[in-house]
Chain A
Amino acid sequence: MKILVPVKRVVDYNVKVRVKSDGTGVDIANVKMSMNPFDEIAVEEAVRLKEKGIATEVIAVSCGVAQCQETLRTAMAIGADRAILVETTEELQPLAVAKLLKALVDKEQPGLIILGKQAIDDDCNQTGQMLAALADLPQATFASKVEVVDGKAQVTREVDGGLEVLSLSMPAVITTDLRLNEPRYVTLPNIMKAKKKQLDTFKPEDLGVDVSPRITTLKVSEPPKRSAGIKVPDVATLVDKLKNVSKVI
Chain B
Amino acid sequence: MSSLVIAEHDNASIKGATLNTVTAAVACGGDVHVLVAGHNAGAAAQAAAQIAGVSKVIHADSEGLAHGLAENVAAQVLAIAANYTHILFPATAAGKNVAPRVAAKLDVAQLSDVTLVLSADTFERPIYAGNAIATVQSKDAVKVLTVRTTGFDAAAASGGSASVETAAATADSGKSAFKGSEIAKNDRPELTAAKVIVSGGRALGSAEKFAEVITPLADKLGAAMGASRAAVDAGYAPNDWQVGQTGKIVAPQLYVACGISGAIQHLAGMKDSKVIVAINKDAEAPIFSVADYGLEADLFVAVPELVNAL
Of residues 1 through 51 on chain A, the ones whose CB sits less than 8 Å from some CB of chain B are: 11, 13, 16-17, 19, 26, 38
Task: Flag B68-104 by CB within 8 Å of A: 1 or 0 each.
Answer: 0111001000000000000000001110111111111
Number of A-B contacts defined by CB within 8 Å: 258
* A228 nearest in chain B by CB position: B289
A95 to B108 alpha-carbon distance, docked (Å) = 8
User: In the complex, which residues of chain B have a beta carbon less than 8 angstroms from the beta carbon of A98?
Assistant: 104
Contacts A165-B181, A238-B306, A242-B254 known; A11 to B112 CB distance under 8 Å?
Answer: no
User: B130 an interface residue at 8 Å Cβ cutoff?
Assistant: yes
Task: Flag B139-181 by CB within 8 Å of A: 1 or 0 each.
Answer: 1100000000000000000000000000000000111111111
Interface size class of A (residues with CB under 8 A): 35 or more
User: In the complex, which residues of chain A have a beta carbon less than 8 angstroms from the beta carbon of B180?
Assistant: 164-165
B139 to nearest A CB, angstroms?
6
Contacts A94-B109, A239-B310 known; A133 to B101 CB distance under 8 Å?
Answer: yes
User: B245 an interface residue at 8 Å Cβ cutoff?
Assistant: yes
A246:B295 contact, CB within 8 angstroms: no
Q: Count chain B residues whose beta carbon lies closer than 8 angstroms to a beta carbon of A.
A: 90
B175:A138 contact, CB within 8 angstroms: yes
A101 to nearest B CB, angstroms?
11
User: A125 an interface residue at 8 Å Cβ cutoff?
Assistant: yes
A93 to B100 alpha-carbon distance, docked (Å) = 12
Contacts A129-B104, A220-B134 known; A231 to B175 CB distance under 8 Å?
Answer: no
User: A196 an interface residue at 8 Å Cβ cutoff?
Assistant: no
User: A209 an interface residue at 8 Å Cβ cutoff?
Assistant: no
B242 to nearest A CB, angstroms?
8
A239 to nearest B CB, angstroms?
5
A123:B100 contact, CB within 8 angstroms: no
B160 to nearest A CB, angstroms?
25
B246 to nearest A CB, angstroms?
6
A117:B246 contact, CB within 8 angstroms: yes
Of A93, A121, A228, which contacts B288 at CB under 8 A? Answer: A228
User: B131 an interface residue at 8 Å Cβ cutoff?
Assistant: yes
Which of A124, A142, A179 has the most CB atoms of chain B within a 10 A radius of its CB? A124
A137:B246 contact, CB within 8 angstroms: no
Contacts A158-B240, A223-B132, A235-B306 known; A242 to B112 CB distance under 8 Å?
Answer: no
B176:A126 contact, CB within 8 angstroms: no
A26 to B139 alpha-carbon distance, docked (Å) = 22
* A230 nearest in chain B by CB position: B293
B184:A161 contact, CB within 8 angstroms: yes
* A165 nearest in chain B by CB position: B179
A232:B179 contact, CB within 8 angstroms: no
User: A65 an interface residue at 8 Å Cβ cutoff?
Assistant: no
A93 to B139 alpha-carbon distance, docked (Å) = 13
A221 to B125 alpha-carbon distance, docked (Å) = 11
* A37 nearest in chain B by CB position: B246
A93:B109 contact, CB within 8 angstroms: yes
User: A160 an interface residue at 8 Å Cβ cutoff?
Assistant: yes
* B253 nearest in chain A by CB position: A248
A16 to B267 alpha-carbon distance, docked (Å) = 12
A interface residue numbers (CB < 8 A to B): 11, 13, 16-17, 19, 26, 38, 93-95, 98, 117-118, 120-134, 137-142, 144, 154, 157-169, 172, 177-179, 213-223, 226, 228-232, 234-236, 238-239, 241-242, 246, 248-249
B interface residue numbers (CB < 8 A to A): 67, 69-71, 74, 92-94, 96-105, 107-113, 122, 126-140, 173-184, 190, 192, 196, 221, 229, 232-233, 238-240, 242, 245-246, 253-254, 264-265, 271, 274-277, 288-297, 302, 305-306, 309-310
Can you list 9 A-B contacts with CB-CB less than 8 angstroms, sorted by A residue number? A120-B245, A125-B100, A160-B93, A161-B183, A164-B183, A168-B176, A169-B174, A215-B109, A221-B135
